[in-house]
Structure 1
Amino acid sequence: MARQEAPEKAVPEKAGDGTPDGAPAGSVDADGAAAVKAPGGAPQPRSVRVVLLALMIAMLLAMLDNMIIGTAMPTIVGELGGLAHLSWVVTAYTLATAASTPIWGKLGDMYGRKGVFLTSIVIFLIGSALSGMAQDMGQLIGFRAVQGLGAGGLMVGVMAIIGDLIPPRERGKYQGMMAGVMALAMIGGPLVGGTITDHWGWRWSFYINLPLGAVALVMLTIVLHLPKRDRAERGAFKGRIDYLGAALLTVGITAIVLVTTWGGTEYAWDSAVIMELVAIGVVSLVGFVFVETKAADPIIPLHIFRSRNFTLMSVIGFLVGFVMFGAVLFLPLFQQSVQGASATNSGLLLLPMLLSMMAVSLIAGRTTTNTGKYKIFPIIGGGLMTAGLFLLAQMDTDTSRLTSGLYMAVLGAGMGFLMQITMLVAQNSVELKDMGVASSSTTLFRTLGSSFGVAIMGALFTGRVEDEMAAQGGSAVTQQSAQLNAASLAKLPEQVREAYQFAVASGTHSAFLLGSAVAVLGFLAAFFVKEVPLKGAGPAKPEPAAQQGTEKLAEAV
């Protein structure tokens, strides 16, 4: 008995075992292998931190890319031409990422996470290199799709591997790290993108991924040991890929993303193209649900939605994505157009929200690790997110930067309570064999939420701005109102400039008011979350005397 218990006592953090409750440290995890171990069988916390560092670099690749490319797009169009196809540079990447996300998660569950994750990094790097070498807009769009295909596996792989390595209760300690990577991407992305484009050329906006990705690949290859599982360890998996389900899900997701991307911009919401896409999306997703009930190895096993907590976390994740990306889009626009801030430092404008989100995420994670309690955090987060959006909806042309910064901090605190808790609870609600599909499904719902949020809040914002400008500033400015910034505003007549600023403030009010109404749904959903004990949680409880006596007798026999 003493020899069996020694490894567990040697590692108080229990980081790196990834085993079910009651399994001894150093036992086989969901991928058929123990995490990085010290000589004696106990996981080695320092090695796990090295793995986490490599995972965070991969996570940074996925989040930083669009932030950097956005600032380089004017230069890219200037050299390659193809302005009419500009939106497809982003759309191709987004489509490939969203459509491949659930497939990467399932492949990781079936064939082992390490190989699948490294493959996604390699595909992302190949797409990055090819995008940097593109000679025309058509090539760039195609190579961005390749890049997005790899990106679909980056976030899922990071979350699923963390789910394997670190027990849910211990996972809270690392939430601040993940929130910090997100903040770094949002703040540093535009700055890095602008600097690279100005000094090295736009092609290095893609090439910059190569050294980062190479570092992550080398570190993970050396330190992360998750050998391929055999048939028995893969549980119920039959080794057959659900091709029909994957195809239907891909078509459905593609249709949804195109509707939210094109609706109100490329095509009117009631146009034949949008209606056809809606019909294709609905039919495909209904067919997908039917196929999944019959498939031997479904891409997304529907039984995971029997867990109330998992379903609620999927809904809350969708709503967080809806609200967060809408805020990231409209806050810099408001501060540039109404408050006269510089577009060059647009990432810094979000600093109050991002710092608040990072600090609160760290506190919530530590508290979860220490207490094992988490239900209160989605409730507080939903309330703060609703309050922050409502406060932001009150901004007008007289609102100071200090006031708007305080409002953003409230919103950031709400998102800090929700961002990582949703993934933590979702992973805690499924078996280890479904860790990949749980991670990919939660990520997919958040991605779809962001698509809907940007589309719906954007349509509401644009409509309100155009209505106000038509009433006050004339149609000439209305046509270019979405492109005006601080520099171009200064060239307008005072009366027209004031009319436009009022219109933007009015549009922002409508968008954030809608966001606060959506956030209320997340706040209400949080009350139905069930406090299920986190796996691998807390110090070992002393065994009752009777149980100890029984075990000693069994050992003697």
Structure 2
Amino acid sequence: MKSPTQEKPMDGIIIERNSTPPLSAGIHSVEQPRYSQKETLLTMLGVLLVMLLASLDQTIVSTAMPHIISELQGFDRYTWVTTAYMLTSTVMVPIYGKLSDLFGRKSIFLIGVSIFLFGSALSGAAQTMNQLIAFRAIQGLGAAALLPIAIAVVGDLFTPRERGKWQGVTTAIFGLSSILGPAVGGWITENTTWRWVFYVNLPIGIVALFVLIFLMPSLHRKVEKTKIDYIGASLLVLGTVPLLLGFTWAGGDLPWLSAQIIGLFALSVVAFIGFFSYEIRLARRGEQPIIDPRLFKNSIFSISILVTMIINMGMFGSIFFLPLFAQGVMGVSATNSGLLLSPMMIALMISSIISGQLISRFGKYKWVAIVGLLITIVGMYFLYRLNINSVNMDLSIAMIIVGLGMGFGMSTYTIAVQNVMPDKIGESTSALTFFRSIGSTVALAAMGSLMSSAYVPAFHDALPTSLKQMLPAKLINALDNPNILLSADAQKQLHQQFSTFGPQGQTIYNQLIEAVKVGLTQGIHNVFILSLVLMVIGLMAVFFLKEVPLRGSNAKSKTQNLEDITQEVESISPAMLH
């Protein structure tokens, strides 16, 4: 493999080139450093193993959680197992991304995988709920490096035009894990012990480590200054953690307007103001901020951040409530609900691979983003039309359409951003992942509150007047939470109580359950409306996404390549070159 050489044509700008001269001065060369086919394929094998490892972990663990809390006696801390992982894995994403730009993908990637495997081993050996929470936090510290750096490595190995094919494959990994995860998690907990949901990461991770250590090129780009932004990292942590905790606790453990929630949000706002102020100062001094505020001056980066946040809010919110609708309203068993999302994920896998091939073939991405959102909006409309009388086929059709749209758009924005920021692939890719995670957390909290606030009045309105007069208010108010629809034991117990009143008791029981289903349907219906609105907003925003033809060698002349570079130079803010 030929080592790239460097020259410095102007302050702060480094050009990397191979054996051929650069096509444009003042920015990075058009083509990324080329590696041998063997290096590329083996590196991608390691990358795909790591992505499968990270995405499988989340779905496998969630399936085993009921067994875990039963053995460790930790129902009161159930949510913290996920919250601890979410906090550390989210807050570290932009930090790892910046470090990978400074010190190379390989070293940071290996550190992340090692910490993740260490946390997995500790989690499997946990003896108490508090230990498991702490060890999951350690696991999250490593997981933060896995997905964003894996996507950045694709950007290093391939030209922007070639990335479409591979980004489609990496997106399909998420769909595959969503199908395999519940099945593997269920098999492990039923046939061995829940501890293997963590230990199973070790053999896969060790194989990935050996592949990356011995076969992955360094992917290192030298920079003039490698001073780590400790103050910026601290302020980022101080801003992100209370923000995530606030949205996690609000509307559930604590009221939205409680002093604790308001205090968390206020602390987050102050910390983020301090973070971006400090990052601006660092950028002006020519140092290396964690997230360079000048990135937002590039319209492609800013629009991609906005659209991915909006889309992720809509998708995450609706997907999270689909199992609730299936189990609570349609009566799908909890066992079968583990595979409920399979039609959506299979459609996502197929469309992500197809869209990646189309992006690589035509060298353009905007039309793919628009088509993806249009399909997703159609799917969201079908979700919006679901009601208490819907059947499995209605739900499956809606999910398949949503999955097709999601697959078309998931990797598009990463490709667009990496195309215009070849020298900040790690930083820009991790920023997309970071803001996407923030959007998911905000959406889950907002939609959970929306559903709860809509359920109670809808439930009471659905109760016949005669029933309200007949039954004590205490009994009716006990059903202000629709959890009874998710518990077969609770339904059986309530049914037995009303059975003592004969046929009339059976009728009363059926009317109560029907009213709960109507209320839950209305609550989830409102969530789907919000998701649909968010997707429409995302579609309007994506029309502002600038089209910069992807660099690459797919049957393009040198003249066309030069024209593409001219457009790229024009899309970069002058402030970013200082």
TM-score (normalised: structure 2): 0.84
Q: Which residue in the other structure is 2:478 paired with? A: 476
CA contact under 8 A between 2:169 and 2:352: conserved in structure 1? no
The yes-or-no answer on 1:505 pairing with 2:521 is yes
Deviation at 1:179, TM superposition (A): 2.5
Deviation at 1:414, TM superposition (A): 1.8
Cα distance in 2 for partners of 1:68, 1:466 equals 33
Deviation at 1:470, TM superposition (A): 4.3
Q: Which residue in the other structure is 1:198 paired with? A: 190
Q: Which residue in the other structure is 1:95 paired with? A: 87
Cα distance in 1 for partners of 2:107, 2:484 equals 44
Q: Which residue in the other structure is 2:443 paired with? A: 453
Q: Which residue in the other structure is 1:74 paired with? A: 66
Cα distance in 2 for partners of 1:133, 1:239 equals 38
Inter-CA distance 83–347: structure 2 relative to 1 (3 Å threshold): closer
Q: Which residue in the other structure is 2:399 paired with? A: 408
CA contact under 8 A between 2:375 and 2:401: conserved in structure 1? yes
Inter-CA distance 462–169: structure 2 relative to 1 (3 Å threshold): same
1:532 to 516, 540, 548: 548
The yes-or-no answer on 1:395 pairing with 2:386 is yes
Deviation at 1:471, TM superposition (A): 4.5
Which secondary structure state, in structure 2, belongs to the residue aligned with residue 399 of structure 1? coil
The yes-or-no answer on 1:466 pairing with 2:448 is no
Cα distance in 1 for partners of 2:158, 2:131 equals 41
Cα distance in 2 for partners of 1:20, 1:482 equals 62
Q: Which residue in the other structure is 2:539 paired with? A: 523
Residue type of the alignment partner of 1:181: I
Cα distance in 1 for partners of 2:462, 2:359 equals 52
Which secondary structure state, in structure 2, belongs to the residue aligned with residue 383 of structure 1? helix
Cα distance in 1 for partners of 2:94, 2:21 equals 29
Residue type of the alignment partner of 1:391: F
Aligned pairs for 1:9-408 (under 5 A) are 36-37=35-36, 44=37, 46-226=38-218, 228-229=220-221, 233-234=222-223, 236=224, 238-295=225-282, 296-408=287-399
Inter-CA distance 21–177: structure 2 relative to 1 (3 Å threshold): farther
Which secondary structure state, in structure 1, belongs to the residue aligned with residue 385 of structure 2? coil
User: Unaligned regions of 5+ residues in structure 1, if any?
Assistant: 5-17, 38-43, 545-557
Cα distance in 2 for partners of 1:471, 1:254 equals 39
**What is the aligned length?**
509
Q: Which residue in the other structure is 2:473 paired with? A: none
Q: Deviations 1:103-139 (Å, cap 9, x if unpaired)?
A: 0001101111101001000000000100111111111
Cα distance in 1 for partners of 2:427, 2:98 equals 5
CA contact under 8 A between 1:190 and 1:346: conserved in structure 2? no
Deviation at 1:373, TM superposition (A): 1.5
Inter-CA distance 147–369: structure 2 relative to 1 (3 Å threshold): same
Moved more, 338-347 or 514-523: 338-347
Cα distance in 1 for partners of 2:323, 2:85 equals 23
2:417 to 405, 418, 426: 426
Which secondary structure state, in structure 2, belongs to the residue aligned with residue 135 of structure 1? coil
CA contact under 8 A between 1:35 and 1:225: conserved in structure 2? no
Deviation at 1:213, TM superposition (A): 0.6
Deviation at 1:91, TM superposition (A): 0.4
Cα distance in 2 for partners of 1:140, 1:157 equals 26
Which secondary structure state, in structure 1, belongs to the residue aligned with residue 380 of structure 2? helix
Deviation at 1:21, TM superposition (A): 12
CA contact under 8 A between 1:461 and 1:507: conserved in structure 2? yes
Cα distance in 2 for partners of 1:416, 1:344 equals 26
Deviation at 1:180, TM superposition (A): 2.0
CA contact under 8 A between 1:340 and 1:486: conserved in structure 2? no
Deviation at 1:56, TM superposition (A): 1.3
CA contact under 8 A between 1:190 and 1:345: conserved in structure 2? no
Inter-CA distance 452–329: structure 2 relative to 1 (3 Å threshold): same
Deviation at 1:347, TM superposition (A): 3.7
Deviation at 1:348, TM superposition (A): 2.1
Inter-CA distance 537–288: structure 2 relative to 1 (3 Å threshold): farther
Q: Which residue in the other structure is 2:426 paired with? A: 436
Deviation at 1:327, TM superposition (A): 2.2
CA contact under 8 A between 2:171 and 2:352: conserved in structure 1? yes
CA contact under 8 A between 1:263 and 1:455: conserved in structure 2? yes
Inter-CA distance 446–282: structure 2 relative to 1 (3 Å threshold): same
Q: Deviations 1:122-174 (Å, cap 9, x if unpaired)?
A: 00000010011111111111111100000000011101111100111111112
Cα distance in 2 for partners of 1:332, 1:19 equals 51
Inter-CA distance 304–511: structure 2 relative to 1 (3 Å threshold): same
Cα distance in 2 for partners of 1:109, 1:175 equals 20
Which secondary structure state, in structure 1, belongs to the residue aligned with residue 339 of structure 2? helix
Deviation at 1:463, TM superposition (A): 2.1
Q: Deviations 1:66-108 (Å, cap 9, x if unpaired)?
A: 2111121111111111222211111000000011000000110
Q: Deviations 1:501-553 (Å, cap 9, x if unpaired)?
A: 21221111100101111111110111011110212342352679xxxxxxxxx
Which secondary structure state, in structure 1, belongs to the residue aligned with residue 291 of structure 2? coil
Q: Which residue in the other structure is 2:504 paired with? A: none
User: Unaligned regions of 5+ residues in structure 2, if any?
Assistant: 3-15, 464-475, 496-508, 561-578
TM-score (normalised: structure 1): 0.87
Q: Deviations 1:235-254 (Å, cap 9, x if unpaired)?
A: x4x11111111111111111
Residue type of the alignment partner of 1:297: Q
Deviation at 1:49, TM superposition (A): 2.5
Inter-CA distance 377–19: structure 2 relative to 1 (3 Å threshold): farther
Which secondary structure state, in structure 2, belongs to the residue aligned with residue 339 of structure 1? coil
Cα distance in 2 for partners of 1:200, 1:384 equals 42
